[in-house]
Amino acid sequence: MAGEFELIRRFFQEATSCRSDVLLGIGDDCALLQPLVGSALAVSSDTLVSGRHFTPDVDPEALGHKALAVNLSDLAAMGAEPAWVSLCLTLPQADEEWLAGFTRGFAGLADGCGVQLVGGDTTRGPLSVSVMVQGFVDPARALRRGAARAGDLVYVSGTLGDAGLALRCRQDPHMQRWLHPALEERLDRPLPRLGLGMRLGSFSRCAIDISDGLGADLGHVCEMSGVGALLDLERLPMSDHVRAYVEATGDWPVVLSAGDDYELVFTVPPQHAAVFDEATAAWDVPVTRVGVIEQAGGLRARAPDGGIIEEVSGGYEHFRA
């Protein structure tokens, strides 16, 4: 056992590039980290469990990427700049090939985002991956879920429903014709919107990442802010693949309620909207205005025919054509 875990440590010891604020990395009882003076430390963790969040035969490289991506997405949704990550792995066995793939996916994303792996734990047991990320944010610019106000405009980044459609296609043999590699890429290798999150601090006080679907996650914002929202279904940004699917089937729920896209939904006060729209034209991530925050609680949607659908977060079924 000791030998195997020695091997695992070797896999992770130099997996990622070094940051100057890591005084002591992997190998001692603790890592020693130098937080940025004047910033708050933003901390988040997420666990992925075999059989619940992925299938046991998952591509280890995709799993390594996704386990980190879903955590970094939380930093993005806070407007934080990522710095450090720790990794707790429970493995049925120390399979070198599997670990090499996992590390490639994990470290590839970490290096791309300037994050250093600074520690973790390795135990034997049913496969699960637990990640904790830490980053920096000016607390006055942090994007909180409770900061939406009536009249704010609601925006989302990227496109919605890609990952959800890919997942449904994988689970349902009758859906095969809608599957496309671009959709699978979005499901397996989501890209956290870190750059966007950090820039939003100049325009927004409120964001959440879309892990459970726009309806559910915007619902959390509404609840914590004591407000409601009206979404414009026709404005929801879709990839060509999802649009073709939705137009053929009327399956709007895939855009509203399917999770795993890891886009950001955020609010911008109306007085900042013009400046914001102008600024975003030069950004590499598309953002789309999809609705407005309202005083009355609950989530409503304006259908393409102009009718208002009440209680969107409850029953998605009445969207079906």
- Interface positions with ligand ADP (CB under 6 A): 9, 12, 26-29, 87, 89, 117, 119-122
CB 149 within 8 A of CB 174: no
DSSP string for 161-212: SHHHHHHHHHH-GGGGGG--HHHHHHHHS----HHHHHHHTTT-SEEEE-SS
CB of 103 to ligand ADP, least distance (A): 9
Spatial separation of the C-alpha atoms in residues 243 and 207, rounded to whole Å: 25
- Neighbouring C-alpha atoms within 13 Å toward the C-beta of 70: 20
- Evaluate whether 135 touches 42 at the Cβ level (below 8 Å): yes
Binding mask 112-131 for Mg ion (x = CB under 5 A): ---------x----------
Please say which residue, 106 or 276, places its beta carbon nearer to ligand ADP.
Answer: 106
Tell me, by CB under 5 A, how many residues bind Mg ion: 1
Q: Which is nearer to Mg ion, 82 or 120 (CB)?
A: 120
CA–CA gap between residue 312 and residue 222 (Å, rounded)? 13
Separation of alpha carbons 259 and 218, rounded Å: 12
Smallest separation (angstroms) from ligand ADP to the CB of 15 = 8
Name the residue nearer to ligand ADP (CB basis): 11 or 245. Answer: 11
Residue nearer to Mg ion on the CB measure, 121 or 310: 121
**152 and 270 in contact (C-beta within 8 Å)?**
yes
Report in angstroms how near the CB of residue 126 gets to ligand ADP at its nearest: 16
In terms of CB distance, is 121 or 311 closer to Mg ion?
Answer: 121
Q: Are 39 and 138 in contact (CB under 8 A)?
A: yes
Least Å from the CB of residue 190 to ligand ADP: 21
Report which residue's Cβ sits closest to Mg ion. Answer: 121
Q: Measured from the CB of residue 7, what is the shortest distance to Mg ion in angstroms?
A: 15
Binding site for Mg ion (CB under 5 A): 121
